[in-house]
Amino acid sequence: MLSAFSNSLKIPELRQRILFTFGLVFVCRILAMVPTPGVDAIALREFIAQIRATSGGSFLGLFDLFSGGALENCAVGALGIMPSISASIILQLLTAVFPALERLAREGDAGRQKITQYGRYLTLALCLVQGYAMAVALENPAGMGINRDIVMFPGWKFRILTVITMTTGTMLLMWLGEQITQRGIGNGISLIITISIVSRLPGAVQATINMFKPVDGMAQFNIFHLIGLLVMIFLVVAGVIAVTQAQRKIPVQYAKRVVGRKVYGGQSTYMPLRVNYSGVMPIIFAQAILMFPSKLLSMVPLDFFKQMAAAMDYGTFLYNALYALMILFFSYFWVATQFNPVQIADDLKKYGGYVPGIRPGRPTADFLDRTMTRITLAGAVFLTGIAVLPTIMAQQFHIPWIVASFFGGTSLLIIVGVMLDTMRQVESHLIMRHYDGFLKKGRLQSRK
């Protein structure tokens, strides 16, 4: 593997792509450090630190996670890349609902470019709304549980300045992500999110060290806890990699077709169906929805609703149970909206392909739907366990949230998925130049 990394720098084009990616990632980190004018960063940093320590799994904690510390600094990139991700998710869901968008998505590169343009417009609209909401929230810190003023000079001037600044920062991040995708290595948007998550790693290491320091002459954790954590992180990462890579290979046979003097088809291949087809989306949906019921019920001036709000608060048994059920539901919901077995069966029939033992057309669609339903159950159950694990570690075993978040949940799934995708792209460049990839010995092959 080390030889593969060294060989990556020997290929001029790949070296240029890697250095270009590192340069733009550095610019993204600068955007997370430059503060927005007119904000008391110290008070806001204390509030974000409190969120990380107590309810890092809430939606605001997730927002801080994706911003990579920009929210804590109230920086130019405080909105992060979340508006672009939200716009992409909304368009994907609308594509499955509106036939016009579905036809546009099937038109090839021209259609995809048009949908990408719609995504940029939607991202701009979301930035304006979220930027204004952020400015109003900063002007009213009591609603967030802060007893001191955050904005030095509140008013419309501050709101307009904040909206313009944060919108510009997010649009710049989105443009940088697109440049990384085109001229660098990996998916730019995903890499920006991953770097934002990994930027919290030094803080997690420091929190882990503090766990084993004695307090009042006695440490809460000992060497056996450390060994258990190391074994656990190894098993969890290995499990996430296995499930992320896992797929069911459906054999596909293509019949021979004679077009003029040429013969097409006749070969055997397979159709890969991913076990974790929905990725990290069910966790994001579940966290986004569960942030509302407790807040809304707490506003009702009745004791029963107050008790319900307390029962549904973050970390309670009811919250974790609803969290797990919603992840299972959204796993199937995402598959139902994004995986179209009827279209796949029609495309196979059109090009002379068929699944051995299954009649083309509707029987093939039913077979694919039944197979996808079964493997989705396994992926959804594993995803639920990984999502709930950090909450259990933080609530039951009193492990700091910044440490527990790297043992599962959104952080680990995104890091593993993006790193595997980036590694595959680097490996494809190495193999094209007759170098071994990451999974081989790493020696230079002889050119013929």
Give the tens place of pLDDT for each residue, 350-370. 877 888 888 888 888 999 999
pLDDT score of 134? 82
pLDDT score of 259? 64
> What's the 3-state SS for the chain?
CHHHHHHHCCCHHHHHHHHHHHHHHHHHHHHCCCECCCECHHHHHHHHHHHHHHCCCCHHHHHHHHHCCHHHHCECCCCCCHHHHHHHHHHHHHHHHCHHHHHHHCCCHHHHHHHHHHHHHHHHHHHHHHHHHHHHHHHCHHHHCCCCCCECCCCHHHHHHHHHHHHHHHHHHHHHHHHHHHHCCCCHHHHHHHHHHHCCHHHHHHHHHHHCCCECCECCCCHHHHHHHHHHHHHHHHHHHHHHHCEEEEEEEECCEEECCEEECCCEEEEEEECCCCCCHHHHHHHHHHHHHHHHHHCCCCHHHHHHHHHCCCCCHHHHHHHHHHHHHHHHHHHHHHCCHHHHHHHHHHCCEECCCCCCCHHHHHHHHHHHHHHHHHHHHHHHHHHHHHHHHHHHCCCCHHHHHHHCHHHHHHHHHHHHHHHHHHHHHHHHCCECCCCCCCCECCCC
pLDDT score of 261? 67
Query: Which residues of the chain have a pLDDT value below 70?
Result: 1-2, 47-66, 68-69, 141-148, 216-217, 219, 256-266, 434-448
pLDDT score of 448? 39
pLDDT score of 447? 41
The pTM assigned to this predicted structure is 0.77
pLDDT score of 63? 66
